[in-house]
Chain A
Amino acid sequence: MSRRPTPLTLDATAPPAAPVEPPTAPAGVRRRSLLSAGAAALGAAPLLGACGGGDTSSSGGTTTVRVWTWYSEQQEEFPRLVEEFQAKNPSIKVENRIFGSPDQYLPALAAAVSGGDVPEIFAPHIRALSYGEAGVSADLKAELGDEFLSDFFQSTIDEYTLDGKQYALGWMAQTFGVFYNPDLLAAAGVTGEPETWDDLIAAADKVNATGKSAVAISASPSTSGLDFFLPLLAQIADDPTYYLRLDKLDGVDYTDTVVVQALELMQKIVRGGVFQPGANGTSGDQANQLFFTEGSAMLFNGSFAPQGFVLNAPPEFVQKYKVMQTPALAPGARHYTANQAGAGLAVSATSKAKDAALEFLRFIYSPEQYTKTMNASNSMPSTKSAAAEVSNPVLKQMTSWLLDGNGVPHIPFGAGSSEAGGPLATMFDDTGEPADVARQMQEAVTSARG
């Protein structure tokens, strides 16, 4: 909801100022004047309060569009986009705000939504569908049309669709794979890319013998562990939609045979020495660091990892590392892996500046601008046209996987679903048994749903 600013002025509508009494005035007059001053101060409070909040709509013929995300990957690109857009649209002012992380961003967004002052364009995170249902986010299918949406990868469209309405658009797509250091694998005597989990376990044995860890992985926070585990469900069930039903506890729950078998597979992988010690205490950055400092030969991570390598890894490492698909259950089986757009963009349904916001959205998603932005930030695009123009070879290879149907959902949108990651920690440190962990996952999710 937009709100005009309420300036504090001394015009005719302002409350009268308290008269200044001379020092010699009688005590009673001084009392009245003091009370008046107090009343004026109290009366000013609502005006001061009204000065807070965002300025979202027209002011002097200029419409303001606020953009809130945590997408620091484009912290250098957004200012360029804003500048070029404003040059073409002088009546629209774009205020871009990039929060440092989802942890910093989500409370601010929740407060904005609760206060009814939603930024015109915002990253909806996992609230995308509930904000849409609540009338907070606009239906972009109705606003932008089917033709505009047709360029997006289906997986990024599906995750933000409910009852035929499109409540957000994918901004940065993501898919997961196994990054590897060819030199370390060769030194360990591993030839070729492991195709199955058994191949990976065999390769891990050889790598561990050289004193290196085989695959670096982050299971801290626990949702990172889910990024690895949830696609195993699709592999076991041979059904890429399995997790969509499990996420809603729609006809299946975590005690289902598929979940138990997936946990058994995970136990086999962990006991095969595939992961580095202490996965539960390793953050995403630390897993990356272990990989590019050559403490591990491989790394399980998402398509956002190359951005970090470009920024943090030695240049020679950036030149040599490669990526392969997540191993399959058996030779010839599908390499199901996590694939969605965790980073999306939604538009406020109630803002007076909605049209201006949609105009900015059209601009940044125009093939020329979007491709340039994604390439400059080493990000995986959500549109097919931009995917065809990806310049980073590793990202280009990973983007090609989006087209072969191996992508499966891994973002826990469902109430309490992310709590399944807690008991999963006992699989990573090999203290849990599959059937017990499956039951604990079900209890954790049910309890968190309330």
Chain B
Amino acid sequence: MPVAERARASTSGALAVRDRRGAARLHRPERVAGFVFIAPAVLLFLVFVGYPILRTVYLGFTTWSGFGDPQWAALANYRRMVADPVARAAFVHTLAFAAVTTVLQTALPLVVAVLVNSTWRRFGVLARTLLFVPGIVSMVVTGVMWRLVLDPNLGLLNRGLRAVGAESLATSWLGESATALPAIVVVSLWQSLGLTVLIFFAGLQGIDPTLYEAAETDGAGPVQQFVHITVPGLRIVTGIVVSLNLISGFKVFDLIYVMTQGGPNHASESLGTRLYSLAFGSTSGSVPQFGYASSLSVVVLLLCTFAVVLQTWLTRRSTR
């Protein structure tokens, strides 16, 4: 076993022993005190997270307009969801958005982080700052700003294309069914790049530099070092990034809502935008459809749960 791994195993073992000893030494009053101290957090969780989740699951089995009492509808909302072409399209778009953004928002930041850590190191803080700036801009501001950039007539992108003689490439980026969702994916990537690079960058600092030195001595090139040292060394970090990207992809709402409201003709509709328009928008006309919207949000919840389970599994697998 390598020295570093032995050291880690030894440290974690010692901690575990101390934990067990610590727990055994707790007197009952101290345990009660512990419960009392965590009670506010548990209470807040139950009130603001636990209850709303249970209530949403319940509402998914009802029809409810937001006033009066919910009417029990059993699986009617879920049957409707299967038959509803817009819900089906929203489901497919959500999966596609989550898959594509997860791949892009994991692979590209990983490469950029490695470059920042090695080749671009002389730019140091400046490079990291420039990369991180989009991440501190809120999604809504990001959406509004990019909507201006992508304006078909006055937008920076099309004007730039016309200026360089590439007018044939200029299009209504958010107004065409074929380009609306891809354009939003690019904006999502731009927004998330900095934070993800920072996560990978932090992970890179944990890889023993002697491994690279040894590999270089053995004649391994940059690509081989990346594949055989960097990628395995970042396995846990990558699992977390994948999980975060999947969750944010499954529950995507703000960026799409600000940029296209799911249009044109539902070409960029996600489960998040659809359930919002059914519950709070004008889609339902004068009577909101909270029951059906809740059933859609249950699907989002299940997808996010899948992402968390996947991340847990990946982490356990990596630490074996």
Q: Which residues of A contact B (CB under 8 A)?
A: 27-28, 30-31, 34-35, 37-38, 41-42, 45, 103, 106-107, 110, 113-114, 125-131, 134, 136, 213, 219-223, 276-283, 286, 289-290, 293, 295, 412-419, 422-423, 425-426, 428-429, 443-444, 447-448, 450
**A132–B19 CA distance with the chains assembled, in angstroms:** 62
- Cβ-based interface call for B280 (8 A): yes
Q: Is B85 an interface residue (CB 8 A)?
A: yes
Partner of B153, one of A41, A282, A428: A282
Stretch in B122-130, B217-225, B262-270 touching the partner: B262-270
Q: Is the CB of A220 within 8 A of B261?
A: yes
B305: interface (CB < 8 Å): no
A327 to chain B, nearest CB (A): 23
Report 15 cross-chain contacts, Cβ distance below 8 Å, ordered by A residue: A42-B39, A127-B286, A219-B175, A220-B264, A221-B261, A222-B265, A276-B153, A282-B151, A293-B154, A295-B153, A422-B266, A425-B264, A425-B265, A447-B86, A448-B86
A430 CB to closest chain B CB, in angstroms?
12
Structural contact, A134 and B289, CB atoms closer than 8 A: no
A339 to B92, CA, bound (A): 38
Q: Hey, which chain B residues are within 8 Å of A130, CB to CB?
A: 65, 286-287
Stretch at the interface among B26-34, B111-119, B190-198, B228-236: B26-34
Q: Which of A222, A417, A450 neighbours the largest number of chain B CB atoms within 10 Å of its CB? A: A450
How distant is the Cα of A30 from the Cα of B32 in the complex, in angstroms? 10
Complex: A107 Cα to B265 Cα, angstroms = 23
Taking the closest CB of chain B, its distance from the CB of A416, in whole angstroms, is: 6
Please tell me if the beta carbons of A222 and B264 are within 8 angstroms of each other in the complex. yes
**Beyond A416-B285, A422-B266, is A134–B68 a contact (Cβ under 8 Å)?**
yes
Q: How far is the CB of A419 from chain B (nearest CB, A)?
A: 6
Residue of A nearest to B68 (CB): A134
* Closest chain B CB from A230 CB (angstroms): 14
B282 adjacent to A412 (CB under 8 Å):
yes
Residues in B neighbouring A286, C-beta threshold 8 A: 147-148, 151, 153-154
Interface residues of B (CB under 8 A from A): 27-29, 32-33, 35-36, 39-40, 43, 47, 63, 65-68, 80, 84-86, 147-148, 150-154, 171-176, 180, 257, 260-261, 263-266, 279-289, 292
- Among the listed A34, A415, A422, which residue makes an inter-chain contact with B286, where contact means beta carbons less than 8 Å apart? A415
The 5 closest A-B pairs by CB, nearest first: A281-B175, A278-B172, A278-B152, A280-B175, A281-B172
Residues from chain B with Cβ under 8 Å of A37 in the complex = 36
Question: Which A residues are in CB contact (< 8 Å) with B292?
Answer: 450
Kindly list 11 other residue pairs between chains A and B, CB separation below 8 angstroms, not including A221-B263, A280-B263, A281-B176: A41-B36, A107-B280, A110-B279, A130-B287, A223-B282, A280-B174, A282-B153, A415-B284, A418-B285, A422-B263, A422-B264
Question: CA separation between A45 and B65, bound complex, in Å?
Answer: 29
How many Å from the CB of B4 to the closest CB on chain A?
A: 44
| Contact of A126 with B173 at beta-carbon distance under 8 Å, contacts A30-B29, A282-B151 already known | no
Q: Which residue of A lies closest to B151 (CB)?
A: A286
Alpha-carbon gap, A279 to B264, bound state (A) = 10
A222→B65 CA distance, assembly (Å): 24
Give every chain A residue within 8 A of B80 (Cβ-Cβ).
450
Which chain B residues border A413 with CB–CB below 8 Å?
A: 285-286
Residues of B within 8 A of A277 (CB): 152-153, 172
CB A125 to nearest CB in B, in angstroms, measures: 8
Instruction: For B148, list chain A residues within 8 Å (CB).
Output: 286
Bound complex: CA A171 to CA B263 (Å):
30
Q: Is the CB of B283 within 8 A of A419?
A: yes
Chain B residues with CB under 8 A of A414: 285-286
> Chain A residues with Cβ under 8 A from B36's Cβ?
34-35, 37-38, 41
Q: Nearest A residue to B65 by beta-carbon distance? A: A130
- The residues of A that contact B266 with a CB separation of less than 8 Å are 422
CB-based contact A220/B260 at 8 Å: yes
Q: Is the beta-carbon distance between A423 and B32 smaller than 8 angstroms?
A: no
The answer to whether A110 touches B280, judged by C-beta atoms less than 8 angstroms apart, is yes
Find out whether the CB atom of A220 lies under 8 angstroms from the CB atom of B174: yes
When A106-B281, A282-B151 are in contact, do A113 and B175 touch as well, CB less than 8 Å?
no
Pick the contact of B287: A106, A415, A428, A447 (CB < 8 A): A415
A351 CB to closest chain B CB (Å) equals 15
A28 to B32, CA, bound (A): 11
Query: What's the Cα separation between A283 and B143 when bound, in Å?
Result: 13
Contact: B280 with A283, CB < 8 Å?
Answer: no
Given A221-B263, A418-B285, A34:B29 Cβ within 8 A: yes
Tell me, in angstroms, the Cα distance from A277 to B158 when the chains sit together. 12
Cross-chain contact A220 with B285 (CB below 8 angstroms): no
Chain B residues in 8 Å Cβ range of A283: 147
Give bound CA distance, A323 to B152, whole Å. Answer: 25
Residue in contact with B263 in the complex, picked from A113, A222, A443, CB distance below 8 Å: A222
List residues of chain A with CB within 8 A of the CB of B175: 219-220, 278-282, 425, 429
Q: What is the CB-to-nearest-CB distance from A48 to chain B, in angstroms, rounded to a whole number?
A: 10
Q: How far is the CB of B288 from chain A (nearest CB, A)?
A: 6
How long is the Cα–Cα vector from A320 to B209 in the complex, in angstroms?
70
Q: Decide if B32 touches A35 in the complex (CB within 8 Å).
A: yes
Q: Nearest residue in B to A279 (C-beta to C-beta)?
A: B175
CA gap between A134 and B47 in the complex, in Å: 29
Chain B residues contacting A113 (CB-CB under 8 Å) are 66-67
Complex CA distance for A221 and B36, rounded to whole angstroms: 51
> For residue A422, which residues in chain B have a CB less than 8 angstroms away from its CB?
86, 263-266
